[in-house]
Structure 1
Amino acid sequence: MGHAVEKHAGTPATTVFGSAALRGASTVVPAARQQLSEAALAAMAKGVPAATARGYLGDWARFEQWALAVSLRPLPATGETLTEYVTWCTLTPRPRTGRPYKPASIDRALASIAVAHQAAGLPQPSQTGARLVLRGYEAELKTAKDPRGKTRKAAAATPRVLRQMIAATDTTTVIGARNAAALTTGFALAARSSEGALLDWEDAVDAADEEGLLFDLYRPKVANDQPLGVPYGSYASTCPVRALRAYRQALLDHGHQPTGPMFVRIDRHGRINPPMFRNGQRIGDPSGRMTAEGIADIVTRAGLAVRPGDVLPDGAPRWTGHALRRGYAEATRHAKKDPLEAARHGGWADGSRAFAGHHDRAAVFDEELNPLYGIGL
């Protein structure tokens, strides 16, 4: 194969995932260097958001399997090894899709490999060659108009779309009241689905002078716990304060005391926290708390109810749980809100490229920024 990289010699560079919790965090430690106790490893694992950890774990497992199969050392890896791996990813069809990896998946894999080295206390391998291969692959896909060359982004659930979503929701039912509250609250907080799932009723209190609600929102991805003010909305149908209070009253009317998890499971018959079983075993949070996937599904169903044809070329739905965050970002740009304060309210880091991308996209027809306006075209 002609790899100018370090081969396995003698004892393989075995990687140890430690405890079960450590496996979940995808923290990789060479056996010879492992100095921490199981308790310390498990505690360290808790510092990685669950969704991120699952992605890292899968990425690392694929890289490690490939490296061992071609007799290369996964940890510590060399820059040449990364270049060979990225080349393999761009050429080898995946069993599930029959096509090579998308650029975004390869980019995340490189990040996961870097995190594994950092967690092991090892220097990160050079990504120069790997990034050149990835850049060329991306350009090739874009030139060929291959959908894999485009980053899949959620549609923007702007206030106008949000009003359409609510109009298509039967808010006279308890499940409809819940969905309307989840949509409007998610937009007002620019909440990720995982953050919405963490909300408790105790996290929302009446603000002074009846201005609205004061939320105490924890954002695990950025380890940020911030108070957020949500005022009354201009439209009654999409006002997050009114929607949440209507949902609370609907729960009370159905004999459910609104304490603990804010968004709870409700079946199509209006039963709150119905029992769920798998193979005869009770599953689901005993308190009825919805999962992040359940929150995202509310957004997806609402989006498809009003925009059924809005899909990407490869058929993947645009309407994901992220649509509310993107809609919020675009709406703040249209309203000419301060981008720094808008980003901070939504839990984006200062200088976030993701927020800037959503924000800038909303300005393509801004007469003050688009140079084609007013030039006599």
Structure 2
Amino acid sequence: MSTVVDMALVPADGPGGHQPAALLDPAAAERQELIERWAERHGVDAARRLAEAEELADAVAAAITPDNTTDTYAKSWRVWERFCAVARLPELEGSRGALVAFVTWMLREGRQNGRGYAPSSVSTHLAAAVVGLRQRGARVSGDDQAEARAALEGLAVKLLQAGERRGRGQAVGGDIDGLRAIARACPDTLTGDRDKALTLTGFHYASRSQDPAGLLNGDVTLHPRGLVVAVLTGKTKHSVRNAKIPYADEAKICPVRAWTAYRTRLVAEHGPQWTDPSTPAFVGIDQWGHIIGGMGPDSVTRAIKRISTRAGVPIAWTGHSLRIGLASVAGRKGRDGIANADQGGWARHSRSMLGYMQRDDGWDDNASAGLA
């Protein structure tokens, strides 16, 4: 790395012309001002070393940011760019009016097909666009962002009043009855054993779709009391964990027995190379029974939907149903938030986890039940 205190010169639009790079990039201008203050205070050499340390910090921050977070920021910035082009607004001005207009435009026509986004998607794009603005040196006040969020909430209510319901809503949570139905419906094939193990183990450690997709055989180890699943593809520091899954009393939906049966059959039918710890934990299998590599996050999501549909679950599960299911079922069984958080990889006071724990179908704890 090398950072000079003098402003770097880059070619201007005219032939042979130059202008300071910092003038082209507000974030670079802010960094340059900081370097110049360091130079005045500590000298040029110290300023250069401090600047190199800043570059290292930037590189570390980029390296530890989850890929899906980076993808979300990039996608939302492209939405912001489209809005600015349509509205003929400068991209690096996150004013109150621009943010409210952005929200309004997204709800009305922001999607590529000219239709409006669901409010939940608008909320995600707004938050990520604000991050993008700040990363690029634009100043976005908390009050202006809050006003845009207030506008979003009010407009979302107007949509509901007008009879518009956008988005899929929150995924349905998995439950024990659903697991029983899935276990019964899995055929006596390698694919069936894989499906059963994928669902039963995923439920018991509150998996996201990327979690089983990232597991290797060596990440799942047998223990006298069950399984230990080393989840290394976590979205946050809390997500990376060793989840312990005990044997279940009900053998037909026991995740430990399901995992053992699946891996035993995989080795028996496709060879001892599948005992290697570096092989994928969950393999893709085509319609002819051929192994086609490890499962990816999208294939896990599709598999969960297909598996639950085959079992006749009333509302098809999604890739997030297993994660919601553990928190809600464990909450109803009296497990506390700390135990839930440690098993599922949430922060111990996660609002989303506590919300899952409090989910109820409205029948068991109904104020009108038994009144007459």
TM-score tier (shorter):
0.7 to 0.9
Cα contact 2:337–2:349 (8 A) shared by 1: no
Deviation of the 1:14 alpha carbon: 9.2
Deviation of the 1:165 alpha carbon: 1.1
Deviation of the 1:34 alpha carbon: 6.5
> Which residue number corresponds to residue 285 of structure 2?
266
Deviation of the 1:132 alpha carbon: 2.3
Q: What whole-Å deviation, never above 9, does each CA across 1:12-63 have from its counterpart, x for those lacking one? A: x9988xxxxxxxxxxxx84545678888655433322222222221111111
Is 1:351–2:349 an aligned residue pair? yes
Pairing partner for 2:192 from 163, 176, 196 = 176
Is 1:124–2:122 an aligned residue pair? no
Rate the CA distance shift 1:307–1:146 in 2: closer, same or farther, 3 A.
farther
> Which residue number corresponds to residue 231 of structure 2?
217
Rate the CA distance shift 1:345–1:69 in 2: closer, same or farther, 3 A.
same
Rate the CA distance shift 1:262–1:359 in 2: closer, same or farther, 3 A.
same
Q: Letter of the 2:120 partner, please give it.
A: A
Deviation of the 1:344 alpha carbon: 2.8
Cα contact 1:204–1:216 (8 A) shared by 2: yes
Structure 1 spans left out of the alignment, 5+ residues: 1-10, 17-28, 274-287, 311-317
Pairing partner for 2:295 from 290, 295, 302 = 290
Match of 2:317, SS state, is: coil
> Using the alignment, how far apart are the partners of 1:120 and 1:366 within structure 2?
51
Pairing partner for 1:186 from 192, 202, 219 = 202
Match of 2:171, SS state, is: coil
> Using the alignment, how far apart are the partners of 1:43 and 1:215 within structure 2?
27
Q: Letter of the 1:344 partner, please give it.
A: D
> Using the alignment, how far apart are the partners of 2:180 and 2:134 within structure 1?
46
Pairing partner for 2:74 from 29, 54, 57 = 57
Rate the CA distance shift 1:372–1:339 in 2: closer, same or farther, 3 A.
farther
> Which residue number corresponds to residue 21 of structure 1?
none
Deviation of the 1:228 alpha carbon: 1.7
> Using the alignment, how far apart are the partners of 1:90 and 1:34 within structure 2?
36
Is 1:46–2:33 an aligned residue pair? no
Deviation of the 1:73 alpha carbon: 2.5
Pairing partner for 2:247 from 213, 225, 232 = 232
Q: Equivalences for 1:324-363 in 2 at 5 Å?
A: 324-362=322-360
Question: What is the TM-score of this pair, normalised by structure 2?
Answer: 0.78
> Which residue number corresponds to residue 281 of structure 1?
none
> Using the alignment, how far apart are the partners of 1:355 and 1:40 within structure 2?
31
Deviation of the 1:111 alpha carbon: 1.0
Structure with the higher helix share, 1 or 2: 2
> Using the alignment, how far apart are the partners of 2:135 and 2:158 within structure 1?
34
Deviation of the 1:269 alpha carbon: 1.7
Is 1:155–2:172 an aligned residue pair? yes
Pairing partner for 1:251 from 239, 262, 266 = 266
Deviation of the 1:247 alpha carbon: 0.9
> Using the alignment, how far apart are the partners of 1:43 and 1:14 within structure 2?
26
> Using the alignment, how far apart are the partners of 1:359 and 1:269 within structure 2?
41
Q: What whole-Å deviation, never above 9, does each CA across 1:252-300 have from its counterpart, x for those lacking one? A: 1021423322112221222223xxxxxxxxxxxxxx2210111111111
> Using the alignment, how far apart are the partners of 1:373 and 1:179 within structure 2?
38
Deviation of the 1:144 alpha carbon: 3.0
Question: What is the TM-score of this pair, normalised by structure 1?
Answer: 0.77
> Using the alignment, how far apart are the partners of 1:138 and 1:69 within structure 2?
22
Q: What whole-Å deviation, never above 9, does each CA across 1:298-338 have from its counterpart, x for those lacking one? A: 1110111133763xxxxxxx521111112212211221211
Deviation of the 1:372 alpha carbon: 4.1
Cα contact 2:327–2:356 (8 A) shared by 1: yes
> Which residue number corresponds to residue 163 of structure 2?
145
Deviation of the 1:114 alpha carbon: 2.3
Structure 2 spans left out of the alignment, 5+ residues: 1-19, 33-50
Q: Letter of the 2:275 partner, please give it.
A: P
Per mean C-alpha deviation after superposition, the further-off stretch among 51-60 and 40-49 is: 40-49
Rate the CA distance shift 1:68–1:56 in 2: closer, same or farther, 3 A.
same
Cα contact 2:231–2:241 (8 A) shared by 1: yes
Cα contact 2:94–2:139 (8 A) shared by 1: no
Match of 2:230, SS state, is: strand
> Using the alignment, how far apart are the partners of 1:15 and 1:182 within structure 2?
50
Cα contact 2:93–2:138 (8 A) shared by 1: yes
> Using the alignment, how far apart are the partners of 2:287 and 2:161 within structure 1?
47
Q: Letter of the 1:235 partner, please give it.
A: E
Deviation of the 1:229 alpha carbon: 1.2
Pairs aligned (count): 327
Q: What whole-Å deviation, never above 9, does each CA across 1:120-139 have from its counterpart, x for those lacking one? A: 46543321331222111111
Deviation of the 1:108 alpha carbon: 0.4
> Which residue number corresponds to residue 3 of structure 1?
none
> Using the alignment, how far apart are the partners of 1:133 and 1:80 within structure 2?
11
Greater Rg by CA = 2
Match of 1:220, SS state, is: coil
Percent of pairs with identical residues: 31
Root-mean-square deviation (Å):
2.9
